[in-house]
Amino acid sequence: MHNPAVPETLEGWSVLHQMFRVRWDAWKTLPRGRRKEMADEAVALLAPLEGLKEGPSALVTLLGHKGDLMLIHFRKTFDELSQVELRIAGLGLHDLLERTSSYVSIVELGLYDMTAKIHEDLKGRGLKTGTDEFERVFDEEMTKQRERMLGRLFSEIPRRRQVCFYPMSKRRGEVKNWYTVPFEKRAAMMREHGLIGRAYSGQVTQIISGSIGLDDWEWGVDLFADDPVVFKKLIYEMRFDEASADYAEFGPFFVGLQFSARELPAFLEGRTPAL
């Protein structure tokens, strides 16, 4: 049954982020020929996955202590995420990678305004919440919305140099609890929140994925831009809107440079890889 207090969501790609630290000491002890074999094997696996319409992957060289390499995978199903994870685990290079973190989620579009609009429209047509007819017509409307949003639900991974990923949740504290705020108030705060993001249109591409029931936080946020200062300005400005100031809790931030899979040998030999 569709609860009018719960905003509907549309789901797209299944998403896996993998963060690794390279065991550089062990890598350096390998003969040059063996290093080349391992790098070439990894390139042969990862390069064809870039831009793959059935489910793309991307590589990011991370800045700071949280890891050296982040892999981002978009796939249609969790089975396909499992398959790419296992294929990477089978690489010779994987023996020299130490997993530092990971994140599982599903691309999500939250429909606060649309949920309220559909409920209001159906009530105006004399349909009562909880009846079979209401549920049937509601599902039909959601199917139309999904078809309209397919491009956003199954988008490519933006080929932009700067990448920022972080998880976040809505606060459920003793004083501030997002989930006890009336629907209309939550919807208004999310509209305000969205207006800030739209002001940065063209400067940054944002992909939101839901992880409630899938990982330790409630959402994952991927940002792609040409200038890392945009991340700082966007997230700083958003901290001042009510939805973030009162209710947002942020996890660790992972920031780095996206690069082409064919540049992996350069990365492994100590050169900043190119996109």
pLDDT along the chain (275 residues), means of 10: 79 98 97 97 98 95 98 98 98 98 96 80 82 85 87 95 97 87 90 86 94 98 97 92 90 98 98 97
Report the pLDDT value the prediction gives residue 255, as an integer from 0 to 100. 98
Concerning whether 103 is annotated as a catalytic residue, the answer is: no
Which of 166, 179, 236, 247 does the annotation list as catalytic? 166
Q: Is there a contact between 205 and 161 (Cβ–Cβ < 8 Å)?
A: no
Report the pLDDT value the prediction gives residue 57, as an integer from 0 to 100. 98
Report the pLDDT value the prediction gives residue 22, as an integer from 0 to 100. 98
Report the pLDDT value the prediction gives residue 169, as an integer from 0 to 100. 96
The DSSP element (H or E) to which 95 belongs, if any, is none
- In 3D space, the residue among 254, 213, 270, 259 whose CA is nearest the CA of residue 100 turns out to be 254
d(CA 43, CA 55) in angstroms, rounded, equals 17
Report the pLDDT value the prediction gives residue 114, as an integer from 0 to 100. 80
Report the pLDDT value the prediction gives residue 31, as an integer from 0 to 100. 97
Handedness of CA 269, 270, 274, 275 (dihedral sign): positive
Report the pLDDT value the prediction gives residue 86, as an integer from 0 to 100. 98
Domains and CATH numbers, the chain: 13-107+258-268 (3.30.70.1030)
- Whole-Å CA distances, 240 to 72, 199, 234, 259: 30, 15, 11, 33
d(CA 16, CA 221) in angstroms, rounded, equals 12
